[in-house]
A = this chain, B = another copy of it.
Protein backbone atom coordinates (compact mmCIF):
# COMPACT_ATOMS: atom_id res chain seq x y z
CA UNK A 1 0.00 0.00 0.00
CA UNK A 2 1.38 3.32 -1.02
CA UNK A 3 0.23 6.32 0.91
CA UNK A 4 2.36 8.85 -0.85
CA UNK A 5 1.00 12.27 -1.81
CA UNK A 6 -1.18 11.81 -4.84
CA UNK A 7 -0.26 14.59 -7.18
CA UNK A 8 -2.97 13.54 -9.64
CA UNK A 9 -5.73 14.30 -7.12
CA UNK A 10 -7.14 17.71 -6.33
CA UNK A 11 -7.30 16.90 -2.61
CA UNK A 12 -4.89 14.96 -0.45
CA UNK A 13 -7.86 14.16 1.72
CA UNK A 14 -11.46 15.06 2.31
CA UNK A 15 -12.94 14.88 5.80
CA UNK A 16 -16.64 14.18 6.34
CA UNK A 17 -18.59 14.94 9.52
CA UNK A 18 -19.13 17.73 11.97
CA UNK A 19 -17.81 21.28 12.15
CA UNK A 20 -18.92 22.92 15.39
CA UNK A 21 -18.12 25.57 17.94
CA UNK A 22 -15.91 25.17 20.99
CA UNK A 23 -16.45 27.68 23.79
CA UNK A 24 -13.36 27.32 25.90
CA UNK A 25 -13.10 28.79 29.39
CA UNK A 26 -11.13 32.03 29.43
CA UNK A 27 -10.51 31.60 33.14
CA UNK A 28 -8.34 28.70 34.36
CA UNK A 29 -8.37 26.55 37.47
CA UNK A 30 -12.06 26.76 38.25
CA UNK A 31 -15.14 24.68 37.54
CA UNK A 32 -17.43 25.72 34.67
CA UNK A 33 -20.08 26.90 37.12
CA UNK A 34 -17.68 29.66 38.13
CA UNK A 35 -16.34 30.37 34.66
CA UNK A 36 -17.84 33.63 33.41
CA UNK A 37 -16.08 34.14 30.06
CA UNK A 38 -15.75 31.82 27.09
CA UNK A 39 -13.69 32.10 23.90
CA UNK A 40 -15.08 30.83 20.61
CA UNK A 41 -13.20 28.45 18.30
CA UNK A 42 -14.07 26.10 15.46
CA UNK A 43 -14.30 22.55 16.82
CA UNK A 44 -15.40 19.03 15.96
CA UNK A 45 -13.01 16.19 15.26
CA UNK A 46 -13.09 16.05 11.44
CA UNK A 47 -13.05 19.87 11.16
CA UNK A 48 -10.02 19.95 13.47
CA UNK A 49 -8.30 17.25 11.42
CA UNK A 50 -8.96 19.16 8.20
CA UNK A 51 -7.63 22.36 9.79
CA UNK A 52 -4.63 20.52 11.17
CA UNK A 53 -3.93 18.95 7.78
CA UNK A 54 -4.23 22.29 5.99
CA UNK A 55 -1.88 23.90 8.55
CA UNK A 56 0.66 21.21 7.61
CA UNK A 57 0.29 22.02 3.93
CA UNK A 58 -2.09 19.30 2.77
CA UNK A 59 -4.80 20.03 0.23
CA UNK A 60 -7.95 19.41 2.22
CA UNK A 61 -11.67 19.37 1.45
CA UNK A 62 -14.66 19.00 3.73
CA UNK A 63 -18.15 17.53 3.44
CA UNK A 64 -20.56 18.67 6.15
CA UNK A 65 -23.54 20.76 7.09
CA UNK A 66 -23.58 24.00 9.03
CA UNK A 67 -26.33 26.09 10.57
CA UNK A 68 -27.70 29.08 8.70
CA UNK A 69 -26.68 31.50 11.43
CA UNK A 70 -23.82 33.50 12.88
CA UNK A 71 -21.98 30.44 14.20
CA UNK A 72 -22.35 28.62 10.87
CA UNK A 73 -20.96 31.60 8.97
CA UNK A 74 -18.04 31.87 11.39
CA UNK A 75 -17.17 28.22 10.79
CA UNK A 76 -17.34 28.53 7.03
CA UNK A 77 -15.09 31.60 7.01
CA UNK A 78 -12.56 30.14 9.44
CA UNK A 79 -12.18 26.92 7.47
CA UNK A 80 -12.04 28.71 4.17
CA UNK A 81 -9.38 31.11 5.54
CA UNK A 82 -7.45 28.04 6.72
CA UNK A 83 -7.20 26.93 3.11
CA UNK A 84 -9.81 24.18 3.17
CA UNK A 85 -12.18 23.76 0.23
CA UNK A 86 -15.64 24.47 1.68
CA UNK A 87 -17.66 24.03 -1.50
CA UNK A 88 -19.36 20.96 0.05
CA UNK A 89 -20.17 22.65 3.36
CA UNK A 90 -23.94 22.68 2.95
CA UNK A 91 -25.95 25.37 4.75
CA UNK A 92 -28.87 23.81 6.61
CA UNK A 93 -32.30 25.15 5.62
CA UNK A 94 -34.38 23.56 8.38
CA UNK A 95 -33.45 25.64 11.41
CA UNK A 96 -30.95 23.26 12.99
CA UNK A 97 -28.29 24.76 15.21
CA UNK A 98 -24.53 24.52 15.40
CA UNK A 99 -23.20 21.99 17.87
CA UNK A 100 -21.51 23.55 20.92
CA UNK A 101 -18.90 22.34 23.39
CA UNK A 102 -18.41 24.45 26.51
CA UNK A 103 -15.20 23.49 28.26
CA UNK A 104 -13.82 24.25 31.66
CA UNK A 105 -10.09 24.32 32.33
CA UNK A 106 -10.04 23.19 35.91
CA UNK A 107 -6.83 21.16 35.96
CA UNK A 108 -4.92 19.04 33.42
CA UNK A 109 -6.76 15.97 34.73
CA UNK A 110 -10.21 17.52 35.03
CA UNK A 111 -11.69 19.34 32.08
CA UNK A 112 -15.37 18.58 31.88
CA UNK A 113 -17.20 19.38 28.66
CA UNK A 114 -20.81 20.46 28.35
CA UNK A 115 -22.14 19.49 24.95
CA UNK A 116 -25.06 20.87 22.92
CA UNK A 117 -25.57 18.12 20.37
CA UNK A 118 -29.36 17.67 20.12
CA UNK A 119 -30.64 18.13 16.57
CA UNK A 120 -27.49 19.88 15.44
CA UNK A 121 -27.01 20.79 11.80
CA UNK A 122 -24.07 18.46 11.15
CA UNK A 123 -26.19 15.37 11.86
CA UNK A 124 -28.65 16.44 9.14
CA UNK A 125 -26.29 15.98 6.21
CA UNK A 126 -28.24 13.96 3.65
CA UNK A 127 -27.30 11.30 1.11
CA UNK A 128 -28.21 13.60 -1.79
CA UNK A 129 -25.68 16.14 -0.47
CA UNK A 130 -22.77 13.71 -0.91
CA UNK A 131 -21.34 14.05 -4.39
CA UNK A 132 -19.50 11.24 -6.16
CA UNK A 133 -17.48 13.59 -8.35
CA UNK A 134 -16.17 15.41 -5.30
CA UNK A 135 -15.06 12.22 -3.58
CA UNK A 136 -13.33 11.04 -6.75
CA UNK A 137 -11.00 14.02 -6.48
CA UNK A 138 -9.53 12.89 -3.16
CA UNK A 139 -6.67 10.61 -2.30
CA UNK A 140 -8.29 9.75 1.02
CA UNK A 141 -11.67 10.08 2.68
CA UNK A 142 -11.46 10.67 6.43
CA UNK A 143 -14.61 9.42 8.18
CA UNK A 144 -15.44 10.54 11.71
CA UNK A 145 -17.27 7.92 13.78
CA UNK A 146 -19.56 10.49 15.35
CA UNK A 147 -21.06 11.25 11.95
CA UNK A 148 -22.53 7.71 12.07
CA UNK A 149 -24.45 8.42 15.27
CA UNK A 150 -27.73 9.56 13.78
CA UNK A 151 -29.75 9.61 10.59
CA UNK A 152 -29.56 11.13 8.03
CA UNK A 153 -25.86 11.92 8.58
CA UNK A 154 -25.34 8.19 9.12
CA UNK A 155 -26.61 7.27 5.66
CA UNK A 156 -24.74 10.18 4.06
CA UNK A 157 -21.49 8.79 5.49
CA UNK A 158 -22.31 5.19 4.54
CA UNK A 159 -22.94 6.41 1.00
CA UNK A 160 -19.63 8.30 1.01
CA UNK A 161 -17.87 5.09 2.07
CA UNK A 162 -19.50 3.18 -0.81
CA UNK A 163 -18.51 5.91 -3.26
CA UNK A 164 -14.94 5.96 -1.98
CA UNK A 165 -14.65 2.18 -2.38
CA UNK A 166 -16.11 2.30 -5.88
CA UNK A 167 -13.65 5.03 -6.91
CA UNK A 168 -10.49 3.69 -5.34
CA UNK A 169 -10.30 6.43 -2.72
CA UNK A 170 -8.64 5.21 0.47
CA UNK A 171 -10.86 5.31 3.55
CA UNK A 172 -9.46 6.44 6.91
CA UNK A 173 -11.82 5.74 9.79
CA UNK A 174 -11.23 7.82 12.93
CA UNK A 175 -13.41 6.12 15.54
CA UNK A 176 -14.00 9.41 17.41
CA UNK A 177 -16.49 7.93 19.88
CA UNK A 178 -18.68 10.44 21.77
CA UNK A 179 -21.22 8.56 23.87
CA UNK A 180 -23.76 11.43 24.15
CA UNK A 181 -24.67 11.28 20.46
CA UNK A 182 -25.46 7.54 20.44
CA UNK A 183 -28.56 5.71 21.63
CA UNK A 184 -26.61 2.74 22.99
CA UNK A 185 -23.29 0.94 22.62
CA UNK A 186 -24.67 -1.99 20.65
CA UNK A 187 -25.81 0.36 17.94
CA UNK A 188 -22.39 2.01 17.89
CA UNK A 189 -20.75 -1.40 17.57
CA UNK A 190 -22.96 -2.26 14.58
CA UNK A 191 -22.01 0.83 12.57
CA UNK A 192 -18.37 0.97 13.68
CA UNK A 193 -17.95 -2.63 12.47
CA UNK A 194 -19.60 -1.94 9.12
CA UNK A 195 -17.29 1.00 8.39
CA UNK A 196 -14.12 -0.43 9.98
CA UNK A 197 -14.43 -3.59 7.86
CA UNK A 198 -14.48 -1.41 4.73
CA UNK A 199 -11.76 1.08 5.73
CA UNK A 200 -8.11 1.04 4.65
CA UNK A 201 -6.79 2.72 7.81
CA UNK A 202 -8.47 2.67 11.21
CA UNK A 203 -7.40 5.02 14.03
CA UNK A 204 -8.72 5.03 17.59
CA UNK A 205 -7.99 4.62 21.26
CA UNK A 206 -8.06 1.20 22.90
CA UNK A 207 -11.37 2.21 24.52
CA UNK A 208 -12.86 3.10 21.17
CA UNK A 209 -11.95 -0.28 19.71
CA UNK A 210 -13.68 -1.85 22.70
CA UNK A 211 -16.82 0.04 21.74
CA UNK A 212 -16.51 -1.21 18.15
CA UNK A 213 -16.24 -4.77 19.51
CA UNK A 214 -19.06 -4.25 22.01
CA UNK A 215 -16.71 -5.55 24.71
CA UNK A 216 -14.58 -4.36 27.62
CA UNK A 217 -10.87 -4.81 28.14
CA UNK A 218 -10.29 -6.08 24.61
CA UNK A 219 -6.81 -6.90 23.32
CA UNK A 220 -4.98 -5.42 20.37
CA UNK A 221 -4.29 -8.93 19.10
CA UNK A 222 -7.97 -9.72 18.80
CA UNK A 223 -8.69 -6.40 17.22
CA UNK A 224 -6.12 -6.73 14.48
CA UNK A 225 -7.00 -10.38 13.92
CA UNK A 226 -10.62 -9.35 13.32
CA UNK A 227 -9.97 -6.28 11.17
CA UNK A 228 -7.16 -7.73 9.03
CA UNK A 229 -9.71 -10.39 8.02
CA UNK A 230 -11.36 -7.57 6.12
CA UNK A 231 -10.08 -4.59 4.12
CA UNK A 232 -7.89 -2.61 6.59
CA UNK A 233 -4.15 -2.43 5.94
CA UNK A 234 -3.07 -0.16 8.81
CA UNK A 235 -4.54 -0.11 12.31
CA UNK A 236 -3.51 2.53 14.83
CA UNK A 237 -4.40 1.93 18.48
CA UNK A 238 -3.69 4.67 21.01
CA UNK A 239 -3.03 3.97 24.69
CA UNK A 240 -2.84 7.52 26.11
CA UNK A 241 0.37 8.35 27.96
CA UNK A 242 1.60 4.81 27.29
CA UNK A 243 1.95 5.71 23.65
CA UNK A 244 0.41 4.35 20.50
CA UNK A 245 0.79 1.36 18.18
CA UNK A 246 0.46 0.93 14.45
CA UNK A 247 -0.08 -2.53 12.94
CA UNK A 248 0.11 -3.43 9.27
CA UNK A 249 -1.60 -6.29 7.46
CA UNK A 250 1.82 -7.63 6.53
CA UNK A 251 2.61 -8.11 10.21
CA UNK A 252 4.70 -5.10 11.18
CA UNK A 253 4.22 -3.41 14.55
CA UNK A 254 5.32 0.15 15.37
CA UNK A 255 5.17 2.00 18.64
CA UNK A 256 5.50 5.68 19.48
CA UNK A 257 5.83 7.07 22.97
CA UNK A 258 4.12 10.24 24.16
CA UNK A 259 6.19 13.41 24.50
CA UNK A 260 6.56 15.23 27.79
CA UNK A 261 4.66 18.47 27.80
CA UNK A 262 2.94 20.95 30.10
CA UNK A 263 -0.69 19.87 29.73
CA UNK A 264 -3.29 22.65 29.89
CA UNK A 265 -6.24 20.46 28.87
CA UNK A 266 -6.64 17.08 27.19
CA UNK A 267 -9.18 17.70 24.43
CA UNK A 268 -7.94 18.13 20.89
CA UNK A 269 -5.17 15.56 21.30
CA UNK A 270 -6.75 12.93 19.06
CA UNK A 271 -7.52 15.31 16.24
CA UNK A 272 -4.02 16.77 16.10
CA UNK A 273 -2.62 13.23 16.24
CA UNK A 274 -4.68 12.13 13.24
CA UNK A 275 -3.85 15.13 11.09
CA UNK A 276 -0.10 14.83 11.65
CA UNK A 277 -0.12 11.04 11.20
CA UNK A 278 -1.95 11.38 7.88
CA UNK A 279 0.33 14.20 6.79
CA UNK A 280 3.36 11.98 7.34
CA UNK A 281 1.82 9.05 5.46
CA UNK A 282 0.71 11.22 2.57
CA UNK A 283 4.13 12.81 2.24
CA UNK A 284 5.75 9.41 2.04
CA UNK A 285 7.21 8.99 5.51
CA UNK A 286 7.36 5.53 7.01
CA UNK A 287 4.77 4.40 9.54
CA UNK A 288 7.12 4.65 12.52
CA UNK A 289 7.85 8.26 11.68
CA UNK A 290 4.16 8.95 11.09
CA UNK A 291 3.39 7.77 14.63
CA UNK A 292 6.00 10.18 16.00
CA UNK A 293 4.42 13.04 14.05
CA UNK A 294 1.05 12.15 15.55
CA UNK A 295 2.42 12.02 19.09
CA UNK A 296 4.33 15.27 18.71
CA UNK A 297 1.36 17.13 17.28
CA UNK A 298 -0.88 15.91 20.12
CA UNK A 299 1.58 17.04 22.77
CA UNK A 300 1.65 20.53 21.25
CA UNK A 301 -2.13 20.93 21.17
CA UNK A 302 -2.75 19.79 24.75
CA UNK A 303 -0.45 22.55 25.95
CA UNK A 304 -2.53 25.25 24.27
CA UNK A 305 -5.95 26.84 24.75
CA UNK A 306 -7.81 25.61 21.67
CA UNK A 307 -7.95 22.56 19.44
CA UNK A 308 -8.26 24.11 15.99
CA UNK A 309 -6.36 27.35 16.40
CA UNK A 310 -3.48 25.50 18.11
CA UNK A 311 -2.80 23.05 15.28
CA UNK A 312 1.00 23.08 14.74
CA UNK A 313 3.09 23.61 11.65
CA UNK A 314 5.53 21.04 10.29
CA UNK A 315 8.39 23.03 11.79
CA UNK A 316 6.88 22.96 15.27
CA UNK A 317 6.34 19.22 15.07
CA UNK A 318 9.83 18.48 13.83
CA UNK A 319 11.36 20.79 16.40
CA UNK A 320 9.53 18.97 19.18
CA UNK A 321 10.49 15.52 17.86
CA UNK A 322 14.14 16.60 17.84
CA UNK A 323 14.27 18.19 21.28
CA UNK A 324 11.56 16.91 23.56
CA UNK A 325 11.99 13.84 25.78
CA UNK A 326 9.32 11.10 25.66
CA UNK A 327 7.40 9.68 28.58
CA UNK A 328 8.78 6.26 29.50
CA UNK A 329 6.10 3.89 30.62
A residues near B (Cβ < 8 Å) are: 23, 26, 31-40, 69-71, 73-74, 77, 97, 100, 102, 104, 112, 114, 116, 118-119, 126-128, 151-152, 155, 158-159, 162, 183-184, 186-187, 189-191, 193-194
Contact = CB atoms under 8 A, between A and B. Distances in A.
A158 B159 CA distance: 16
A39 B189 CA distance: 40
A99 B211 CA distance: 32
Contacts of A116: 97, 100, 116
A84 B159 CA distance: 37
Contacts of A126: 186
Nearest to A180: B95
B31 A35 contact: no
A215 to B, nearest CB: 13
Given A35-B40, A37-B38, A193 B162 contact: yes
A69 B127 contact: no
Contact of A102 (B32, B70, B77, B183): B70
Nearest to A69: B114
A126 B190 CA distance: 12
B40 A38 contact: yes
A53 B308 CA distance: 43
A37 to B, nearest CB: 5
Given A70-B102, A162-B190, A39 B40 contact: no
Nearest to A162: B193
A304 to B, nearest CB: 16
B40 A37 contact: yes
A37 B26 contact: yes
Contacts of A97: 116, 118
A74 B33 contact: yes
A187 B127 contact: yes
A40 B26 CA distance: 11
Nearest to A166: B226
